[in-house]
Structure 1
Amino acid sequence: MKLHHWVSVAAIGAGLAVGLGAFAAHGLKAVLLEYQLAIFKTGVNYQMWHSLALLGICGVASQLSSRCFAIVAWAWLIGVVAFSGSLYLLALTSWYWLGPITPMGGVSFLIGWVGLAIGAWRSYQR
């Protein structure tokens, strides 16, 4: 994907996080148990932080190799879908089989952060 596509993905992700957070605070508060609401809000928080992080690396993309940028961006996008998405579904349904997917999303987030650290270090070394 081109850089402007990633900016759009980041903006859509952050906008969805705002909308989902408002939905949780106003629409789900009376429907979900406190525990379920906390799970949903955790998904919103991780989605927002990683959407903003993706937007941030778009600003420094020229400092990273295109391969590093792609690895980090895709890892974070997969992390949002797997981690936050599984938490949203876990909170709203009784699909407990989704539980193992959440940590895979967390690992994807970590891969992105480690990739960014390595990529930044390598770009500094050049």
Structure 2
Amino acid sequence: MKIFFLLGCIMAALSVALGAFGAHGLEGKISAKMLDVWKTGVTYQMFHAGGLFIVALLMDKIQSSLVSAAGWCMVAGIIMFSGSLYALSTTGMKFFGPITPLGGVAFIIGWILLGTAIVKGL
């Protein structure tokens, strides 16, 4: 439980810092389109930091490995989805583009696992 609270705090803090960096450090250095890509990464990272808090809170209430698996899927999603968008927007390397959907799939699986755990556990 503590690990997901900690990861949620880290991801939320990083999201704020990366959002500020994008707004103040990248503006004028990358194209408006790539700045929007950066912002998408920040937005999804913050939403899923919140998801990690939900996972942490539910771990005490629902005794299921699905809850923990959901949390790890969200962590993987943040790294792959948001991380690839940060890399793509700052480097322009198309290599990072195909990684983004894998992170999106990890997010979707995480939410499905969490929902399944809730239905089964409550």
- Normalising by structure 2, we get a TM-score of 0.96
In the alignment, what sits opposite 2:21?
Answer: 23
In the alignment, what sits opposite 2:51?
Answer: 53
Distance in 2 of aligned mates of 1:107 and 1:115 = 12
User: In angstroms, what is the RMSD of aligned CA positions?
Assistant: 0.9
Q: CA deviation at 1:116?
A: 0.8
In the alignment, what sits opposite 1:69?
Answer: 67
- What are structure 1's unaligned runs of at least 5 residues? none
Contact 1:73 1:112 in 2 (8 A): yes
In the alignment, what sits opposite 2:106?
Answer: 108
- Normalising by structure 1, we get a TM-score of 0.93
Aligned length: 122
- What are structure 2's unaligned runs of at least 5 residues? none
Q: CA deviation at 1:62?
A: 1.8
In the alignment, what sits opposite 1:35?
Answer: 33
In the alignment, what sits opposite 1:117?
Answer: 115
Q: Percent identity?
A: 38
SS of equivalent to 2:60:
helix
Kindly provide the amino acid, as one letter, of the partner of residue 7 in structure 2.
V
Q: CA deviation at 1:121?
A: 0.3
Contact 1:81 1:105 in 2 (8 A): yes
In the alignment, what sits opposite 1:95?
Answer: 93
Contact 2:59 2:68 in 1 (8 A): no
Contact 1:63 1:120 in 2 (8 A): no
Contact 1:14 1:48 in 2 (8 A): yes
Distance in 2 of aligned mates of 1:19 and 1:5 = 21
CA-to-partner distance for each residue in 1:93-117, whole Å, 9 max, x for gaps? 0210111110000000000000011
Q: CA deviation at 1:63?
A: 2.2
